[in-house]
């Protein structure tokens, strides 16, 4: 008997209400792995099982404990938790001592980083010397060089969460590939069909991404590796992940091109190609992918190499009539006459050289 998925699972919105979390807190709980989801249906919609809700609600510190684990704070509130100034907290975060959990853009399109409150408190308990004493020399030198490790640490955290949510080798490779720009990706994955498969499995952008084009551009840059060491690390990781994925199964490749040629039997001798005019369909399998979208086109037969088929004569393709051919001279004369008429009608002066006076 089929199991009623509607009774066994609930939607994310319903789960957030039963767990007494806001929508952004619930999304963060799912990203951090605190709330496990399952795939339901052919559309791969994510839902939450009733048993998972019962497990979370049975915790002795529910709901305060779950809400505290997903509590995200900005720079000012994080500095207040540590008892330091916002400027000193920013310097510690820029040097890589704290990893952001998400980001947003304000109305000036400036990046606002958010941190888990419990991680901020734990950092203060682990490294109390960095809160009061003078910062080490190497850290001051890195800050003087305008080093900022917050984007890199956020990408590393997000990649770790993505890799933890799947066991499929191709999906894991796609998660790593999403951190490389198209040029870097093409250098590591030279097969266009493998790149298309990775692009189809590319993880969706994190929730709360900006919708305006300028905001999407800023957020898109933050999602790609930009440090040389980081790029090299992800390239090596992607190469190893691809080896594992290829061992598991090969990426789907379209079949051989099949373009049928409609012709009635007996009309053209064997070995000859009939002349075709108008539009002819091209099989989708014969067209390579561009990114993740297959190019579906209808190619005009006139745009192809001209093919002349004469009954009882060999096929000549790719060459026009020779200079000694009368038909070739007539074709060129018609083309020149058409070109001159076009120039006259458009007002463009003709390039024909005038004969001097007295010329025979």
* Residue-wise pLDDT tens digits, 301-314: 333 333 333 334 44
Q: What is the pTM of this model?
A: 0.66
pLDDT class of 273 with cuts at 50, 70, 90: very low
What pLDDT is recorded for position 289?
33
What pLDDT is recorded for position 2?
38
Least confident of 9-13, 85-89, 310-314, 351-355: 310-314
pLDDT class of 109 with cuts at 50, 70, 90: confident
What pLDDT is recorded for position 16?
93
Q: Is pLDDT of 126 > 70?
A: yes
- Which residue's structure tokens are 């888990």? 116
More confidently predicted of 133 and 325: 133
Do 270 and 245 contact (CB within 8 A), yes or no?
Answer: no
Q: Is pLDDT of 281 > 50?
A: no
pLDDT class of 43 with cuts at 50, 70, 90: low
Q: What is the mean pLDDT of residues 43-67?
A: 88
Q: What is the mean pLDDT of residues 326-349?
A: 54
- In Å, what is the CA distance from 282 to each residue of 226, 255, 303, 317, 352? 40, 13, 13, 20, 43
Q: Is pLDDT of 152 > 90?
A: yes
Q: What is the mean pLDDT of residues 112-135?
A: 92
The mean pLDDT of the chain is: 76
What distance in Å separates the CA atoms of residue 241 and residue 237, rounded to the nearest whole number? Answer: 6
What distance in Å separates the CA atoms of residue 187 and residue 240, rounded to the nearest whole number? Answer: 14
Q: Is pLDDT of 127 > 70?
A: yes
What pLDDT is recorded for position 171?
94
Closest CA to 159 of 147, 142, 176, 173: 176
% of the chain residues with pLDDT over 70: 68
Q: What number of other Cβ atoms are within 10 A of residue 276's Cβ?
A: 15
Q: What is the mean pLDDT of residues 284-297?
A: 35
Q: What is the mean pLDDT of residues 82-96?
A: 95
pLDDT class of 170 with cuts at 50, 70, 90: very high
Domain ranges for the chain:
5-69, 72-148, 152-248
């Amino acid at each position: 008997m089929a199991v009623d998925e509607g009774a066994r699972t609930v939607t994310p919105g319903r789960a957030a209400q039963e767990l007494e979390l806001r929508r952004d807190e619930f999304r963060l709980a799912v990203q951090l792995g605190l709330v496990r989801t399952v795939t339901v249906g052919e559309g791969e919609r994510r839902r939450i099982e009733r048993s998972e809700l019962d497990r979370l609600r049975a915790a002795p510190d529910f709901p305060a404990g779950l809400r505290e684990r997903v509590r995200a704070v900005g720079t000012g509130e994080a500095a207040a938790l540590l008892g330091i100034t916002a400027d000193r907290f920013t310097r510690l975060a820029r040097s890589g001592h704290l990893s952001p959990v998400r980001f947003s853009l304000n109305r000036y399109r400036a990046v606002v980083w958010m941190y888990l409150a419990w991680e901020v408190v734990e950092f203060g308990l682990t490294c109390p010397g960095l809160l009061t004493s003078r910062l080490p020399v190497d850290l001051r030198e890195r800050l003087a060089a305008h080093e900022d490790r917050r984007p890199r640490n956020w990408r590393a955290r997000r990649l770790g969460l993505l890799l933890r949510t799947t066991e499929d080798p191709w999906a894991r490779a796609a998660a790593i590939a999403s951190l490389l720009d198209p040029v870097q990706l093409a250098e590591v994955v030279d097969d266009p069909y493998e790149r298309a498969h990775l692009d189809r499995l590319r993880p969706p952008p994190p929730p709360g991404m900006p919708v305006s084009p300028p905001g999407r551009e800023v957020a898109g840059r933050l999602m790609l590796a930009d440090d040389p060491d980081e790029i090299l690390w992800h390239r090596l990781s992607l190469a190893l992940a691809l080896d594992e994925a290829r061992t598991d199964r090969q990426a789907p490749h379209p079949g051989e091109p099949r373009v049928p040629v409609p012709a009635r039997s007996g009309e053209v001798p064997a070995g000859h190609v009939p002349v075709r005019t108008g539009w002819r369909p091209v099989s989708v399998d014969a067209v390579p992918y561009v990114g993740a979208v297959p190019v579906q086109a209808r190619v005009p037969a006139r745009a192809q190499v001209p093919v002349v088929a004469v009954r009882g004569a060999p096929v000549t393709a790719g060459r026009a009539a020779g200079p000694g051919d009368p038909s070739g001279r007539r074709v060129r004369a018609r083309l020149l006459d058409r070109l001159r008429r076009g120039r006259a009608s458009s007002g463009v002066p003709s390039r024909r050289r005038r004969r001097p006076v007295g010329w025979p």
